Amino acid sequence: MAEFIMELNDEQKEVRDWIHGFAADVMRPAAAEWDEREETPWPVIQEAAKIGIYSLDFYAQQYFDPTGLGIPMAMEELFWGDAGIALSIVGTGLAAVGVLANGTEEQIGTWVPQMYGDADDVKVAAFCSSEPDAGSDVASMRTRAVYDEAKDEWVINGTKTWATNGGIANVHVVVASVDAELGSKGHASFIVPPNTPGLSQGQKFQKHGIRASHTAEVVLEDVRIPGNCLLGGKEKLDERLARARERAKAGGGERVKNAAMATFEASRPAVGAMAVGTARAAYEEALEYAKTREQFGRPIIDNQGVAFQLADMRTSIDAARLLVWRASWMAVNGRPFTAAEGSQSKLFASETAKKVTAQAIQILGGNGFTREYPVERMHRDAAIYTIFEGTSEIQRLVIARTLSGMPIR
């Protein structure tokens, strides 16, 4: 088990500087344009693919870093560049992780490469879980998958929402209910191959922030997929459902639910790292502005009202990063989140991003309220961190339940 450290090693610093250079030289100059266009920045993704940032190999190397700092370091630098473009670059990873976590070796080898394509023919993938009536309440999922034994096919019907790359993806990973009576324990994940009839894009959302990232509904109408597109295979699914039914009869359903929540917990530090990157970018803009902007014959940073805000901003950012790093180290090294450390990191970092970006606008004054300066965009982007991957309210609920052992509602 790697010791918890608070400093990147030389190799990690080299990777960080490489990503930072891409973020500064390629992402930032393009950020305002793609935010205004509200379109997927294919040329930027292609540039990321050419140098190896947009690839499974890159994210696998960071994920298996024994210190746990590879992923949060990479996320912070990319989202420091621009949140919308960064989400377009890392969004495919959500689907890839779904396959890596649940799929067989054959499924992983078949589908994950198709999610990314290559530098000459870039592809993206979509992970489809949320629904119009089932966001935080995953047990209310209405999308159904029914097995047609005669044809060895699964038939999927339902509507997914808030899907990053939804409808434009080469490969969709869809979570559906196969046994509604078991609630969230009756869910399974499926691969929907490219050009499958019945899958279509629904509403494309016009968003407040992260506008360079494509977000849309995915409509599934009698979508038929081969039996081998069930992630993990039917035998494994049948065994899992049988265990869930037995536990439900024995009154052990809550224990299974907590085990599932622990899985979600492990993914939340990465979102916290995204928030840290956006917050740091806004803080740096505000700091530079405060040192060069003069009022009443002196830089505005000479005023305590401004200087103290910047001090608080930097302190909160550093505290958020430490919470993210701790949770990331714990996740990689198999340490249980006995105090919901994953949710702690996501909650504090996301709330910090909202607060810091708002303070940055205040320091820039009227200029901060215009699109001429990037802090306005950063503030809009930061709003998403307290919403996706579990709202701040859900994070507080998870933390409170974990600390108390009580079924707080």
254 catalytic, yes or no? no
Q: Of 246, 276, 304, which one is at a domain's C-terminal end?
A: 246
pLDDT at 254: 46
- Residue 33 sits in a domain of what CATH number? 1.10.540.10
Same-domain check for residues 234 and 294:
no
Report if residue 375 sits inside a domain: yes
Same-domain check for residues 85 and 137:
no
By residue range, what is the domain housing residue 347? Answer: 256-404
pLDDT at 250: 82
Same-domain check for residues 366 and 266:
yes
pLDDT, one tens digit per residue, over 159-185 is 999 999 999 999 999 999 999 999 888
Report if residue 4 sits inside a domain: no
Same-domain check for residues 54 and 144:
no
Q: How many residues does the chain have?
A: 409
pLDDT at 4: 87
What contacts 325, CB < 8 A, 6 or more positions away?
4, 6, 68, 69, 72
Same-domain check for residues 129 and 68:
no
What is the amino acid identity at position 393? E
pLDDT at 101: 86
Same-domain check for residues 223 and 260:
no
Domains held by the chain: number:
3
pLDDT at 184: 85
pLDDT, one tens digit per residue, over 109-137 is 999 999 999 999 999 999 999 999 877 77
Q: Of 220, 246, 272, which one is at a domain's C-terminal end?
A: 246
* Positions of the chain with pLDDT under 50: 253-263
Same-domain check for residues 54 and 140:
no
What's the rounded Cα separation, in Å, for the pair 134 and 115?
26
Q: If 0-12 CB within 10 Å is exposed, 13-18 middle and 19+ buried, where does residue 48 land?
A: buried
- Residue 376 sits in a domain of what CATH number? 1.20.140.10
Provide the b/e sequence for 58-80 (b: ≥16 CB within 10 Å): bbeebbebebbbbbbbbbbbbbb
Same-domain check for residues 203 and 273:
no
Same-domain check for residues 86 and 129:
no
pLDDT at 135: 73
What's the rounded Cα separation, in Å, for the pair 353 and 280?
8
pLDDT at 290: 98
Same-domain check for residues 149 and 117:
no
Same-domain check for residues 191 and 281:
no
Catalytic residue (choose from 3, 265, 389, 393): 389
Q: What is the DSSP string of 340-384?
A: -HHHHHHHHHHHHHHHHHHHHHHHHGGGGGSTTSTHHHHHHHHGG
pLDDT at 137: 74
Q: Of 218, 246, 274, which one is at a domain's C-terminal end?
A: 246
DSSP-derived letter for residue 2 is P
